[in-house]
Amino acid sequence: MFGENMAQGKGHNIMSRSLSPILQIRLGMMRAMNHLMPNCEEASLLVSRSLDEKLPLAQRIRLRSHLLFCEWCRRFEGQLNLMRGLIRATAPPEETLPHEGRERIKRSLEEEGS
- Specify the pLDDT at position 112: 83
| Residue 23 and residue 39 in contact, taking contact as beta carbons nearer than 8 Å | no
Identify the band that residue 88 occupies on the pLDDT scale cut at 50, 70 and 90: confident
Specify the pTM.
0.54
pLDDT above 70 covers a percentage of the chain that reads 82
User: Is residue 63 predicted with pLDDT exceeding 90?
Assistant: yes
User: Is residue 60 predicted with pLDDT exceeding 70?
Assistant: yes
pLDDT tens column, 2-48:
444 444 445 445 555 677 888 888 777 777 776 678 899 999 999 99
- Specify the pLDDT at position 2: 41
- pLDDT higher at 9 or 57: 57
- Specify the pLDDT at position 7: 44
- pLDDT higher at 112 or 78: 78
| Domain ranges (residues) in the chain | 1-36, 38-90
Buried b (16+ CB within 10 A) or exposed e, 63-79: beebbeebeebeebbee
Eight-state DSSP code of residue 10? T
